[in-house]
Chains A and B, each alone.
Chain A
Amino acid sequence: MNSADTAINRSVTANDSDSSGGSNIIGKGVRHESAHLHVSGGALYADDIALPANTLHAALGISSVAHGKMRSIDLYPVRTAPGVVAVITAVDVPGANNYGAILDDDPIFSDALVQYVGQPLFAVAADTCDEARRAARLARIDYETLPPILDIRAAIAAQSFVIPTQYLSRGDASAMLPQAPQRLQGSISMGGQDQFYLEGHISVALPQEDGAVLIYCSTQHPTEVQHKVSHALGLPAHKVIVQCRRMGGGFGGKESQPALFACVAAILATKTGRPVKMRVDRDADMVITGKRHDFIADYDVGFDERGRIKALTLMMASRCGYSADLSGPVNDRALMHIDNAYFLEHVSVVSHRCKTHTVSNTAFRGFGGPQGMVVIEQIIDDIARTLKLDPLDVRRANFYGIEERNVTHYQQPVEDNVIGLIVDQLEISSDYRARRQRNSAFNLQSPVIKRGIALTPVKFGISFNATLYNQAGALVNVYTDGSVLINHGGTEMGQGLFTKVAQVVAAELGVPLCSVRSSATDISKVPNTSATAASSGSDLNGKAAQAAAQTIRQRLIDFACEKYALHADAVKFADGRVTLGSIETDFATLVLDAYAARISLSATGYYRTPKIHYDRATLTGRPFFYFAYGAAVVEAAIDTLTGESRLLRVDILHDAGTSLNPAIDIGQIEGGFLQGAGWLTSEELWWNDRGELKTHAPSTYKIPTARDWPVQANVNLLQNSPNAEDTIYRSKAVGEPPLMLGIAALHAIRDAVASCGKAGAVTPLNAPATAEAVLRALTQMQTGKLQKSTMRSSVEGGGATP
């Protein structure tokens, strides 16, 4: 069952009728609002906007050492290079030389101390992009090099941290550990990940009258861009307008990072009085900007004979790079997801935020959550191997309960637990047990190829940890022909936010979807926006847009009731028509009448997430409005001679609540899964011992291709499972959670590796599970070199360790 080829196995019946309207538009798999533009080359990205003929092009001059002091910097060859119009350094920043998201430790241009290879030191504006990039290479810089700290262990040894170590505990782990029937220690490491949005960073700054500046920026966070540019230029915020119609992918990489490029473009534009486009080449993008944090963890876990965890002490540490950026909240979220779907009664975690002389790591889909979950999943797997149990049974033994064992280690009750339901359904639909048995039989008689299978769960907290960001605004304009233009604080990066919000507004106003148009995110229309991040886009902006649409709808109802002497119940909006008692008319006609009667047809809407609270000092409270759940079963094969692996089949059941748009949600789930699988298999960031990132382009950094999508795939949404909380039409956020379904890919490979070792031995395989990592693990298992006592040294095999 369920083994149909993906090409004919469609979980979603697409309904692309643009004319469907009314509330039945909610839950329909309508196409992405820009799909017809994407496929025809008509979708405009920042690089595609027509610019004045006098536009200049910018390039960054970057450092070539990981740690050092600039003794001298000679920019004469840069200034005199062909086409160069302006060259700026730290001294040319009119205001604050900083674009740090939280702390002021990210200089736009470093003026003396260099802290990573690729750190921006100066910028050039020239007539052409080529001239600017060529000139930027001509600086003569003399460094006094200092010893760099490049990896996590070295940073811990040197007590080198970007922000103080954080602790989180519940119960009394150290007291309970010795009492546990069994005990295991081990170490875990996992590599980082480049966002690899297909559209690289870009900002265009256009000088406006009276010193103002307009910026087209590929950004998930227009307001932060506004703030950083206004600080850098020393201008009030109202003189910096930021727009973004769409991004060619973001994945967290365009949350705090775009401000750098926007600041550079804005400073150069202000200095020259000419428009400046700052588009970075792919290699520069990958060298200059932050990535997912790589992590290590050392654990000591006590458990019973069923594998239920009795106590856990954990040291986690991440490579933050040279500055704090978003590392604080990223590591906090990692801490808060070391439970994944499991109840940890006695737990004590130490979290180090290591400062290294490498690029400052930043947000990436999941925001630390995936790293926390990889840690606990490996601990569970190690327990299962030790006990010679099916890892699924150990997972189940540790799941949160419904009535009891239902409070997280940060004191939030888990009130909407559906993980048991999901895993029960998926275990059956994927035929997990039988396939696992077949694999065992297969592996016994297959000398070279070994197969493995794993089911891993996902429970992911939804809301920004920082409570203040859980708010949003929207603006809905109805024009006198009945067409509707919406604007809100969220940004479109491909995730379908604009489509979902348009569905909400169309449903509320009872107009066809084609009557509703989304306009570019623009902080002059909706101000003080939160980043489109933390999966919050539709939850926040959907509710805000709903409120705005409802305001207009109520005005129209009030107007109609007065004009036609009706009761409000007699006014109904559907499919672009309005029922007014016994009369029926067009929405446009009613709107025109209302305009003539001087009724406002424009409204703002606002939303703030209820119920949430969070104490940043103790990391406790209710940081999350609700949880999103899912689970994946992956089957993989490995080649024991080479370590190569392939994913053979994936089965996914994911909880999107009452889906606003199943087609878009399935797209998020499938894409998230493969992105997560890529992180843990083929995507390896590699620095040399000078701290130079050598995987800085698609030629060397390998994200999955079409062949990596498993031949057999069954991806489904959990049915009849409305959000327990009052979210927009009871839907659930679906941006980040599916990424962690990819953890099943790592564990399927680990299961295959485990089949080559002795029963009772843990699997010495860390992420990313490249062919080399798998072969190394196999060699360690076969030579029996790796036992508990040497587990800790296995982190040296971690992919991202230089």
Chain B
Amino acid sequence: MNRQPLRFVLDGRVVTADDVVPTTTLLQYLRDTLGRIGTKEGCAEGDCGACTIVEGELCGDRIEYRAVNSCIRFLPTFDGKEIVTVESLKAPTGELHPVQQAMVDCHASQCGFCTPGFVMSLLALYLKPKNSLKPKDGAPDRNDIIDALSGNLCRCTGYRPIIDAAVRMAELPEPLVGSNGDAQSEKRRALLATIARTDSLVIDASGTGSTDKAATPAYIAPRTLDELAAHYQQHPASLLLAGATDIGLWVTKQMRDLPPLIYIGSVAELDYVKESADLLEIGASVKLGKAYEAICAHYPTLQELATRFASTPIRNSGTFCGNIANGSPIGDSMPFLLALGASVVLRCGDHTRELPLEQFYLGYQKKALQTSEFVAAVRVPLPQSVNTPDARKIRSIVTSYKISKRFDQDISAVCGGYALKISDGQIVAVRIAYGGMAAIPQRALKTEAALIGQPWSAATFKLAQQAIALDYQPIGDMRASASYRLQVAANLLMRLYLEKSQEGDPEMGAESASSLAMRIPAISATLLGLPS
């Protein structure tokens, strides 16, 4: 058999990795096999960022660069990609890259162990197309910077000098290696094109060339949806792998021997966001970052949740559908999706069906999936345009609130999703769901019943708060006690009422608009009404 081997680009050269166990992480391969020890292991679970590297992917005529955690992603998922590590920035003249020089100038390293990861996260920011930044004209602002650094922990500096370095790097002269021009050079794109795959990557159990055709390969990356569905049907004991932001930990933390893996990230047909008049359909291999970008374009109130969903590097690897298919009771996407009435598109062999998301979760880690069936896409209802005289009076509210110990990159203690329609001061439609309150992400049916048909008023919400305890019997754990979960889930209803009331829509009823903050937002000082 003459299959194409696993290949990636590193420092302008193609690296061929044969004889690799498919669950080898990129970090292990970099450090143990290639001897590139600049990239560090801090936690081996994608939470500290010491292992951050930059992944380059040829997308049309551009290479898209993004920071990812190398400690939990398996090497084969980098097939066909460019990998940039902290060592890659070395200029022939020995000069430091502006990202590195800015870090030095600003005294942004102390012990230095987290530093390569910070350099890589800042490099991804440095290589971002300028028009993707806010403000659109170029230099990253504080929010761009904080978002870019959300996956990197530093225990020494307090971050101030690192934030300064992110500002300073844009002021330094362009480098020879690692400039925007160099990163997008014809040569780089051409080299990446040479390793573009024409067949499916297959790795047998031992990592050496496949010999037994009947055996299930340890790893396969189908290139078409049909191939994926057929292979899963033939090998139903296989495990579907997407961003590995959870499955990676099964290996690095739980030391599990994984079943044969089917990687969905090479199926081009699954990497799509399709928009129709009333629906957004997100394919199974769409990364979290892209999915939330599409969702927030229609639901800007979900932007804070999107920002707080894990970290930038995790959102660059993990997939939106993976979060849903994983079905954790504390996954952050499900509450608002349940509130919106989203559905999942399930595929099994040649058969496709659609299932409302709330029917998908049967119990703790139990999903309504048949053997060899998988989540192919999620359908998110879009806000309905209001163009009839009657409908003009209807106000739609969609939002999500997340409670955790830390603002960035934390797992929810409680996460609420809310979708309401108000007409003439009455609540005419309501769907509410919470994560962290039950064994599955679950709707608050009794709370909804307390709200539907009622006037939009504090009294209504006060009454509805009492229903939360009828809807849920949460557990207490290291993230929060059961009583706090109940109390805060109820209080979030009041936040919803207060926050939406003060937005001053006359349809909402009597409450008048005010500029007072009703919660602590991502950017605190100005929105909290601090005197300037």
* Interface pair A771/B111, CB less than 8 Å apart: no
Q: Which residues of B contact A36 (CB under 8 A)?
A: 96, 100, 104
Instruction: Say if the beta carbon of B158 comes within 8 Å of chain A.
Output: yes
In the assembled complex, the CB of B419 is this many whole angstroms from the nearest CB of chain A, namely: 20
Interface SS majority for chain B: loop
- Nearest-neighbor residue (CB-CB) of B499 within chain A: A448
Q: Which of B487-532 contact A (CB under 8 A)?
A: 487-488, 491-492, 494-495, 498, 516-520, 522-525, 528-532
Of B114, B161, B167, B525, which is within 8 A of A712 by CB?
A: B525
Of A198, A282, A666, which is within 8 A of B111 by CB?
A: A198
Q: Which of B79-119 contact A (CB under 8 A)?
A: 85-87, 89-90, 96, 99-101, 103-107, 109-116, 119
Stretch at the interface among A38-46, A287-295, A389-397, A726-734: A38-46
Q: Which residues of A contact B481 (CB under 8 A)?
A: 772
Listed residue (A47, A446, A667, A682) with the most chain B CB atoms within 10 angstroms of its CB: A667
**Bound Cα distance A42, B112 (Å):** 10
**Bound Cα distance A185, B282 (Å):** 60
* Interface pair B479/A709, CB less than 8 Å apart: no
* Interface pair A771/B405, CB less than 8 Å apart: yes
Of B116, B158, B255, which is within 8 A of A709 by CB?
A: B158
* Interface pair A45/B40, CB less than 8 Å apart: yes
In the assembled complex, the CB of B351 is this many whole angstroms from the nearest CB of chain A, namely: 37
In the assembled complex, the CB of A645 is this many whole angstroms from the nearest CB of chain B, namely: 7
Chain A interface size range = 35 or more
Q: Which of B116-165 contact A (CB under 8 A)?
A: 116, 119, 142, 145-146, 149-150, 152-164
Instruction: Say if the beta carbon of B480 comes within 8 Å of chain A.
Output: yes
Q: Which of B397-434 contact A (CB under 8 A)?
A: 403-411, 413
* Interface pair B406/A708, CB less than 8 Å apart: yes
A interface footprint on B362-386 (CB within 8 Å = 1, 0 otherwise): 0000000000000000000000000
Listed residue (A5, A41, A281) with the most chain B CB atoms within 10 angstroms of its CB: A41
Instruction: Say if the beta carbon of A496 comes within 8 Å of chain B.
Output: yes
Q: Which residues of B contact A697 (CB under 8 A)?
A: 43, 45, 47, 253
In the assembled complex, the CB of B132 is this many whole angstroms from the nearest CB of chain A, namely: 19
* Interface pair A707/B519, CB less than 8 Å apart: no
**Bound Cα distance A667, B104 (Å):** 13
Listed residue (B41, B105, B156, B477) with the most chain A CB atoms within 10 angstroms of its CB: B156
In the assembled complex, the CB of A434 is this many whole angstroms from the nearest CB of chain B, namely: 9
Instruction: Say if the beta carbon of A646 comes within 8 Å of chain B.
Output: yes
Stretch at the interface among A243-251, A400-408, A415-423: A243-251
**Bound Cα distance A10, B40 (Å):** 30
- Whether A16 touches B146, Cβ cut-off 8 Å, given contacts A40-B38, A199-B113, is no
Instruction: Say if the beta carbon of B48 comes within 8 Å of chain A.
Output: yes
In the assembled complex, the CB of B36 is this many whole angstroms from the nearest CB of chain A, namely: 8
Instruction: Say if the beta carbon of A699 comes within 8 Å of chain B.
Output: yes
* Interface pair A639/B519, CB less than 8 Å apart: yes
Instruction: Say if the beta carbon of B39 comes within 8 Å of chain A.
Output: yes
In the assembled complex, the CB of A655 is this many whole angstroms from the nearest CB of chain B, namely: 18
* Interface pair A711/B524, CB less than 8 Å apart: yes
Of B39, B111, B487, B523, which is within 8 A of A197 by CB?
A: B111
Q: Which residues of B contact A637 (CB under 8 A)?
A: 520, 524, 528
**Bound Cα distance A232, B30 (Å):** 35
Q: Which residues of A contact B47 (CB under 8 A)?
A: 697-699
**Bound Cα distance A671, B103 (Å):** 16
A interface footprint on B287-323 (CB within 8 Å = 1, 0 otherwise): 0000000000000000000000000000000000000
- Whether A39 touches B100, Cβ cut-off 8 Å, given contacts A196-B155, A449-B518, A770-B405, is yes
Instruction: Say if the beta carbon of A582 comes within 8 Å of chain B.
Output: no
Of B36, B157, B403, which is within 8 A of A671 by CB?
A: B157
Instruction: Say if the beta carbon of B37 comes within 8 Å of chain A.
Output: yes
**Bound Cα distance A48, B116 (Å):** 14
Instruction: Say if the beta carbon of A442 comes within 8 Å of chain B.
Output: yes
**Bound Cα distance A5, B166 (Å):** 14
Instruction: Say if the beta carbon of B207 comes within 8 Å of chain A.
Output: no
Q: Which residues of B contact A133 (CB under 8 A)?
A: 255
**Bound Cα distance A10, B518 (Å):** 33
* Interface pair B255/A449, CB less than 8 Å apart: no
Q: Which residues of B contact A446 (CB under 8 A)?
A: 516-517, 529
**Bound Cα distance A663, B524 (Å):** 28
Instruction: Say if the beta carbon of A123 comes within 8 Å of chain B.
Output: no
In the assembled complex, the CB of B477 is this many whole angstroms from the nearest CB of chain A, namely: 7
* Interface pair B86/A674, CB less than 8 Å apart: no
In the assembled complex, the CB of B264 is this many whole angstroms from the nearest CB of chain A, namely: 24
**Bound Cα distance A529, B381 (Å):** 67
Of B107, B114, B160, B517, which is within 8 A of A14 by CB?
A: B107
- Whether A6 touches B488, Cβ cut-off 8 Å, given contacts A682-B405, A707-B522, A711-B525, is no
Q: Which residues of B contact A694 (CB under 8 A)?
A: 477-478
- Whether A706 touches B495, Cβ cut-off 8 Å, given contacts A6-B163, A247-B111, A648-B530, is no
Q: Which residues of A contact B149 (CB under 8 A)?
A: 705-706
In the assembled complex, the CB of B116 is this many whole angstroms from the nearest CB of chain A, namely: 5
In the assembled complex, the CB of A544 is this many whole angstroms from the nearest CB of chain B, namely: 23
Instruction: Say if the beta carbon of A695 comes within 8 Å of chain B.
Output: yes
**Bound Cα distance A446, B518 (Å):** 8
* Interface pair B86/A41, CB less than 8 Å apart: yes
A interface footprint on B254-283 (CB within 8 Å = 1, 0 otherwise): 010000000000000000000000000000
Instruction: Say if the beta carbon of A670 comes within 8 Å of chain B.
Output: yes
* Interface pair B158/A673, CB less than 8 Å apart: yes
Q: Which of A120-158 contact B (CB under 8 A)?
A: 130, 133-134, 137
Q: Which residues of B contact A199 (CB under 8 A)?
A: 40, 42, 111, 113
Instruction: Say if the beta carbon of A237 comes within 8 Å of chain B.
Output: no
Q: Which residues of B contact A43 (CB under 8 A)?
A: 112, 115
In the assembled complex, the CB of A230 is this many whole angstroms from the nearest CB of chain B, namely: 28
In the assembled complex, the CB of B517 is this many whole angstroms from the nearest CB of chain A, namely: 5
**Bound Cα distance A599, B107 (Å):** 39
* Interface pair A251/B528, CB less than 8 Å apart: no
**Bound Cα distance A445, B163 (Å):** 34
Q: Which residues of A contact B522 (CB under 8 A)?
A: 707
Q: Which residues of B contact A5 (CB under 8 A)?
A: 142
**Bound Cα distance A695, B411 (Å):** 12
In the assembled complex, the CB of A291 is this many whole angstroms from the nearest CB of chain B, namely: 14
* Interface pair A198/B163, CB less than 8 Å apart: no
Instruction: Say if the beta carbon of B202 comes within 8 Å of chain A.
Output: no
- Whether A249 touches B106, Cβ cut-off 8 Å, given contacts A282-B43, A445-B516, is no
Instruction: Say if the beta carbon of B50 comes within 8 Å of chain A.
Output: yes
- Whether A702 touches B405, Cβ cut-off 8 Å, given contacts A41-B37, A198-B114, A448-B519, is yes
Instruction: Say if the beta carbon of B218 comes within 8 Å of chain A.
Output: no
Instruction: Say if the beta carbon of A494 comes within 8 Å of chain B.
Output: yes
Listed residue (B35, B40, B44, B149) with the most chain A CB atoms within 10 angstroms of its CB: B40
* Interface pair B111/A494, CB less than 8 Å apart: yes
**Bound Cα distance A8, B166 (Å):** 12
B interface footprint on A769-802 (CB within 8 Å = 1, 0 otherwise): 0111001100100000000000000000000000
Instruction: Say if the beta carbon of A703 comes within 8 Å of chain B.
Output: yes
* Interface pair B112/A246, CB less than 8 Å apart: yes
* Interface pair A493/B111, CB less than 8 Å apart: yes
- Nearest-neighbor residue (CB-CB) of A687 within chain B: B478
Instruction: Say if the beta carbon of A355 comes within 8 Å of chain B.
Output: no
Q: Which residues of B contact A495 (CB under 8 A)?
A: 110
Q: Which of A31-88 contact B (CB under 8 A)?
A: 31-32, 34-45, 47-48, 50
Instruction: Say if the beta carbon of A525 comes within 8 Å of chain B.
Output: no
* Interface pair B109/A35, CB less than 8 Å apart: yes
In the assembled complex, the CB of A269 is this many whole angstroms from the nearest CB of chain B, namely: 20
* Interface pair A642/B519, CB less than 8 Å apart: yes
Can you identify 20 A-B contacts, CB atoms within 8 angstroms?
A16-B105, A35-B109, A40-B90, A40-B96, A41-B37, A197-B111, A282-B48, A448-B519, A449-B528, A637-B520, A667-B158, A686-B477, A705-B152, A705-B408, A708-B406, A709-B163, A712-B525, A771-B405, A771-B484, A771-B488
Beyond contacts A32-B109, A249-B155, A282-B48: 4 other A-B pairs, Cβ-Cβ < 8 A, are: A14-B105, A648-B525, A675-B155, A700-B478
Q: Nearest 7 pairs between A and B by C-beta?
A: A41-B38, A494-B111, A248-B113, A38-B112, A494-B110, A670-B158, A698-B47
